[in-house]
Every structure is written in structure tokens, then in C-alpha cells.
Amino acid sequence: MARKILILGDSKSFMVNALVSELSSKGYEFNIVDLSLRSLMDLEQQKLLPKACLVYLKEIDDISTAALKYLSELYDTHHVKIILLGSKNDLQDAFFIIPKNKISKDFVRPINVMDLEHELDKIYEAQVEDIKTKKILIVDDDIAMLRSMRNLLSQRYQTFIVNSGNDAIKFLKNIPVNLILLDYEMPELSGPEVFNLLRENALTKSIPVMFLTAKQDSESVKTAAAFKPEKYLLKSLPPDVILSTIDAFFNKSLS
């Protein structure tokens, strides 16, 4: 799982680039954008908000104030972890804009990179633990496919398998899950029929569903897309692609 961190600040700043250089060697990936309201709104609209955000404060002006106010709202709506970096005076000014209880950590310049890395590690490890609690139900009449998918996904997720739509409906009455991987073509109840039953039930209507299918012709894809599943996954995809797709789904939901 990629350790993606957003930096809000001046991409030309020597200090920002020094931090990126140092922490990139530790396995972190950074996206640097301006500390502005427009930048944050664009990231939210594009669903690119990460789990954690480093805010490099150079000065508190009208532009940065508007951005910090919006970041405070994103804390409430997207649970973004906020780490502030800046001078003592800038940090004090920032606390009047973002309540201190919304700040995961603040660092006064000059910044101890090891301490910052430790804080980022804690955030990442908490995210990994959260991922491990996610439950996935795989529904497929092909036993070999069920076993293959379970072996792949159980490395990171709690994985359950059933081999019919009826069994899936019964299972979900007792055990809630975070994602359903649903075979599109099955005997008795087809994938679309199961999908409709899930959406009609108050307990299951909001559970995300990804269709699993062996068909990739345009007509099949178009028909499946009409149900508006989270994804349409081809069974022929390499295992690492399937796993990364599901990782990306859960990473997005955690952001």
C-alpha cells in the first residue's frame, strides 16, 4: 500500500523540497500543491484527498487563511489528518483558524525530520490496521475462482466466500461486509438479480458491489455499467491488478 502524503505549500521552497527528498527515501509518496482554497476544492472534487496532509506555513495571509478554514471542514467530512509545520508565530496564528484538537501534530521550524517521520509512520500504521478490519464477501458459482480470490485477498482483508446468490443473501443477514465481489453470471440467481435484491434490502442497499466477469465485450460491459457497480472486474486480470484495484477502493474510502 502506497504511503501517500499531501503537502500544502510552496513547491519551490527549499525546506519543502528537502523534506520531500528525505522522506521519499523512507517510502513516502508526495503530492505538493499550493496552500489555497482552490487547490483543496480541486482535490476534493477529484477525490484525491489523502489520509494525511502536511501544511507548510510560510505566512498567514488571506489566501492561506481561506485554505486553512476549508481544511478544518475537510477534517470533519473526510477525517484528514492535519500536521502543521511552521514558525512558532505562524502556528499560533493557525490555531485561531483550525482548532488545536483537529491538529494531529505541529512542528516548529527547524523541523526534526526523524520526529516527523515517526508521526507519519503512526498515521500509516493506523491506516493499515483499519484496512485489516475490512470484510469482503466473494460470490461465485466457480469453486476454483472462489478459492483463488480468497487466497489472494485474505493476505490483507477478512474474506468470506459463498457459491450462490441465495447463500449471499442469507450470509448478509447475519454478517455485514464492506465490499461484495459478485459474479455477473450464475445459475438460479444471476449477478444482476442479486444486485437488485441487495439494493431493495435496507441492511444491504449501501454495501459497495464490484461485478466479477469473464466477459469483456462492449455490450456486456455496457449492460453491467447500467447497474452502477463500483467496478467491473475481469476475472482474467492479473492478481496484482485485482488486488491493487481493491486496495485503491479502500484507500479512497479511508481518505
pLDDT exceeds cutoff 60 at 23: yes
Q: How far apart are the first and last CA of the chain?
A: 14
Residue ranges per structural domain of the chain = 3-131, 133-254
Do residues 91 and 57 lie in contact, with contact meaning Cβ atoms separated by under 8 Å?
Answer: yes
Predicted confidence band at 242 (pLDDT cuts at 50, 70, 90)?
A: very high
- pLDDT tens digits for range 98-152: 999 999 999 999 999 899 999 888 887 777 666 668 899 999 999 999 999 999 9
pLDDT at residue 228 in the model:
87
* β 209-213/231-234 pair status: parallel
Fold assignment, 133-254? Rossmann fold (3.40.50)
- pLDDT tens digits for range 159-187: 999 999 999 999 998 888 999 999 988 88
Cell numbers that stand for 58 in this block: 510560510
Which superfamily is assigned to 3-131 in CATH?
Answer: Response regulator (3.40.50.2300)
Higher pLDDT, 217 or 89: 89
Higher pLDDT, 247 or 8: 8
**In residues, how long is the chain?**
255
| DSSP strands (E only) in the chain | 3-8, 28-33, 52-56, 81-86, 103-108, 135-139, 158-162, 179-183, 209-213, 231-234
- Chain-centroid distance, C-alpha 199: 23
Q: Return mean pLDDT, the chain.
A: 88
- pLDDT tens digits for range 27-56: 888 889 999 999 999 988 887 787 789 999
